[in-house]
Each structure stands twice: as C-alpha cells, then as structure tokens.
Amino acid sequence: MEELQLKFFSVIHPTRAFLPQLEQSGEGAIVCVNSLLAQQPEPHMVATSAARAGVLNLVRSMATEFAPKGVRVNGILIGLVESGQWRRRFEARPEEDRNLDWAAWTARLAQQKHIPLGRLGLPVEAARAILFLASPLSSYTTGSHIDISGGTPVMPNQQQYEQQQVTVGCAITAFLEQCGVKAAFGVISIHNMPILDAMGERGKIRFVPARGEAGGTNMADACARTTGGLGVCLTSTGTAAGNAAGAMVEALTAGTPMLHITGQIETPYLDQSLAYIHEAPDQLTMLKAVSKAAFRVRSADTAISTIKLAVQTALTAPTGPVSVEIPIDIQAALIDMRPTSSRCRCRNTSRRPMRWTRWPSAWPRPSARCCGWAVVHATRASRSSACSTWASAWSPAHKAAASSRKTIRARSAPTTCTSRSSSSTRAATRCWWSVRACAAMKR
C-alpha cells in the first residue's frame, strides 16, 4: 500500500488539484516521471514494478480523458541515471573494486545491465525530456512515453533472456544434465567447488560424497554399469587425482564409460615447476596412463567443447573412462550461457544412416538374455572380416561389461580395438566397425 500511495496516488492527487487551472490555460500539460520497471519488472521488486505499471496505464487513460479539455498527458521512463543512490553504492563498493574510479565502475555497471550506450544517464538528460513534453514543442503528443534508458532493451526476446553470464562450472553442470547424468560421485575440494556449487544450486544432479577418491571413482564405475549411462566422478588435483588411479584402471579394464573431472592449480602457475601447493608434475601424463584418454581445458571458451569431446570419447567403443583437467580459475570464469536443446547430442556421433540387423554369429553373445539385434551399418571392410576382427578383440572383460548395458550401435569411423585383459590381444587390432554401447537386453 505504501508503494501505491507513493507512486500511483501521488499522480492522481495533484492532478485532481490542478486540473481546473490546466483546463483554463488552454495549453495544459502533465508529465509523469516513471521508471523502466513499468515495462520490465525485476526480481524482488514486485510492489514497485506493479505500482509503476499502474502509472503507465494511468497516463494513457488520463490522456484519452483530458484530450477534449485541451490537456496533454505524457510520461518518461527512466533507466539507470546517476544519482545519490548510485554514489552511495560506489562509496560502499567491495574491497576488490577499490581500484576502480567512478567512470570505470559505472561503465562496468552499464555493461552488466546491457545498456548499449555503455554509461549511466545524467539528470540533465531526463530534465530535457521533461521540458520537451511540457512545452509547446510537443503540442501534438499525448499518451506517449519517452524512454530515457540509454537503449536498454525493454522486453528482450527469449534468446536474449536465456543468455546470461554463468561460471564454467555451471555450464559444465548444465551440459551433463543434457547428457542424462543424474548422479555424480567424488570428494569435495576447493579445486572442484565451482562445479559442485552449480550442481547444488541447479538441483538436477545428485552429488554423492565419498570418503576417498578411489571409493568415489568405484561408485561412478558401478553407476555406469548398472544404469547403462555415463558415470561421473569428481576429484581434486595432485594426490587426490592419483588416489583415483587404481579405480580408473578397473573401469578401463571393464570398458566402463565414465567421465573423471579433476581440478588443477591456477593457470598462471601450471607447468611452471614452482612447487605450487597441490601441484603434481606432469599429472596429465599420469591420467593418460590410467584412462582411455585425458584432456586439459586450456581456456574458459573451450571448456564445453573439451567436455563434449571427453564424453564422446568415453561413450565411443571401446568405451572407457576419460579424464579432464580443469584449472580452478577456469572453473570460476564467466562465460555466456546459450540456450541448449532438451536432449544431449553427444550420443548421436554417427552421421550415416543406421539399420537394424541380426547379431553377427562371429560376435560372442554377452548373455543368454540378449535379444540378438544390433544397430549396425557397413564400412570399408566386408561384413565377415569385420565381424571376425571384432571377435578377436572382444575380451571377457568387454563381455562382462556388455551384459549390463542397453543397446549396441556401430559407427563408421575406423577404430583400433585393444583388449586390456591379456598382452596377446593388446596389440592394435584394426577394426572397421565400432560398437557404440552394448548388448540390447530383453527385460
């Protein structure tokens, strides 16, 4: 009620009091000072936005009613204008912003508010608009509003609305949600906090903490085997990443599709041999030895593309765990969050048409419950040679892993199929069929 008295009835009461004099003047004009909130409400400003929206329509109603009496009614919509309020906020700015002067601070504020002119407005600029509407210069204008906001978009389209600055950790979390990840495992650390914060805030991925990195990695391995999806584990850098090595080898032997996200020290100190705290020299080489592949995020702009490549690699046969190093400063960096599709596209890696066909006799069946169908398509090698080649590279560990997954797909890219169970089959066996996931099971 206080907001209505201050912003709505404060227009009605003086209008009633001075309307007779305005009618007698023959050139009466009423100018209402309003805010851009009338057309673009902001969070936590419900009462103010509602009152200002009422004033917006009040101006139009009064303009129609008073026009026959020769009284014009217009208004201005003010955006961010320099005032004592902003001066007080500038004086109370946090310690990390103390190096910014008034011009730099307001320029950054204008950028955050998406003001095209890149600055705050001046009081005199609003006064000039009021003078114009009150003077005979606007004698043929009534029921209108002048926008004094530096070009701030009043009602951005849906794509503009969904684009916002988020941390790399939040963007990674959103991507994993699109990949169908429901749970992640690992150990909480300062070097993975931005990702864990995003998981907690978004609430779509449940993080299950473990007592140690090995246990967390084993849990992610078991989750991937039982659900047929992508397992995700998070560890810290240095010793913590090394603690997960044994469990990573187990997942590698079983061919479990798993994403291992490990932190890393700040980018300026990386690979400098400065004995920086939590630094492990040549950690990426260690991760490559216990993973199907290992990547490092080099910049905030390439973070999502690197994670996408890691997920594709983990899900492409022969499936296996993939590690990704993400320095802590990159995890906390801000990037643009763009609208994403409702489904993850990382599973649709094949661009060639697929067809259903019977399970080739040369392929060992993973279990008696297998329905005997697979999604495959031919490549350069003949069907018989491809089947026999794949069968020679199919290890007991791959069979065991296959029995817990849902579908089997083949794609055209030539892949080197190697088994981790014996040295005789570890030699690179060239296979022109690449099985995507695993056996189609009858429930």
Residue 338: which pLDDT band, with cuts at 50, 70 and 90?
A: low
pLDDT on residue 42: 75
Q: For residue 174, what is the enclosing H or E element?
A: helix 168-178
Give the residue from 308, 337, 366 where a domain finishes: 337
Residue 155: which pLDDT band, with cuts at 50, 70 and 90?
A: low
Give the residue from 307, 337, 367 where a domain finishes: 337
Indicate the DSSP class of residue 317: S
For residues 136 and 217, state if they share a domain.
Answer: no
Residue 121: which pLDDT band, with cuts at 50, 70 and 90?
A: very high
* Segment 397-420, tens digit of pLDDT: 444 444 444 333 333 333 333 333
Contact 178, 149 (CB under 8 A): no
For residues 145 and 184, state if they share a domain.
Answer: no
pLDDT on residue 159: 43
Give the residue from 302, 337, 372 where a domain finishes: 337
Is residue 207 predicted with pLDDT exceeding 50? yes
The least confident of 194-198, 310-314, 349-353 is: 349-353
* Segment 70-109, tens digit of pLDDT: 999 999 999 999 999 899 999 988 888 888 999 999 999 9
Whether 343 is covered by a domain: the verdict is no
For residues 229 and 266, state if they share a domain.
Answer: yes
Task: Give the phi and the psi of residue 164 in degrees, each rounded to 5.
Answer: -150, 160
Whether 111 is covered by a domain: the verdict is no
Whether 99 is covered by a domain: the verdict is no
Is residue 26 predicted with pLDDT exceeding 80? yes
* Segment 275-294, tens digit of pLDDT: 777 778 889 999 999 999 99
Q: From CA 375, how far away is CA 65, in angstroms rounded?
A: 72
Task: Give the phi and the psi of residue 336 in degrees, each rounded to 5.
Answer: -80, 130
Whether 110 is covered by a domain: the verdict is no
pLDDT on residue 101: 92
Whether 134 is covered by a domain: the verdict is yes
Q: What is the CATH number of the domain that holds 318?
A: 3.40.50.970
For residues 215 and 332, state if they share a domain.
Answer: yes
Whether 331 is covered by a domain: the verdict is yes
DSSP for 108-141?
A: HHHHHTT-TT-S-B-HHHHHHHHHHHHSGGGTT-
For residues 315 and 362, state if they share a domain.
Answer: no
Count the domains in the chain: 3
Domain range enclosing 390: 355-435
CA gyration radius, the chain: 32
Q: Report the percent of the chain where pLDDT is more than 70.
A: 74
Residues 6+ apart with CB under 8 A from 240: 187, 189, 191, 213, 262
pLDDT, mean of residues 196-224 = 94
For residues 254 and 372, state if they share a domain.
Answer: no
Q: Report the percent of the chain where pLDDT is more than 90.
A: 53
Instruction: Please state the separation of Cα 150 from the chain's center in Å.
Output: 29
For residues 198 and 304, state if they share a domain.
Answer: yes
For residues 316 and 366, state if they share a domain.
Answer: no
Contact 295, 325 (CB under 8 A): yes
Whether 22 is covered by a domain: the verdict is yes
- Higher pLDDT among residues 156 and 308, named by residue: 308
pLDDT on residue 249: 95
For residues 283 and 391, state if they share a domain.
Answer: no
- Higher pLDDT among residues 338 and 307, named by residue: 307
In angstroms, the Cα distances linking 105 to 83, 90, 110, 114, 118 are: 14, 8, 9, 14, 11
For residues 141 and 197, state if they share a domain.
Answer: no
Q: From CA 160, how far away is CA 360, in angstroms rounded?
A: 51
Is residue 157 predicted with pLDDT exceeding 60? no
Residue 206: which pLDDT band, with cuts at 50, 70 and 90?
A: very high
Is residue 389 predicted with pLDDT exceeding 50? no
DSSP for 233-284?
A: EEE-STHHHHHTHHHHHHHHHHT--EEEEEEE--GGGTTS-S--TT--TTHH
Whether 441 is covered by a domain: the verdict is no
Question: What is the crossing angle of helices 168-178 and 303-315, to 10°?
Answer: 30
pLDDT on residue 342: 41
Identity of residue 219? M
The least confident of 234-238, 326-330, 391-395, 431-435 is: 431-435
For residues 286 and 213, state if they share a domain.
Answer: yes
Q: What is the CATH number of the domain that holds 140?
A: 3.40.50.720
Mean pLDDT of the chain: 77
For residues 208 and 147, state if they share a domain.
Answer: no
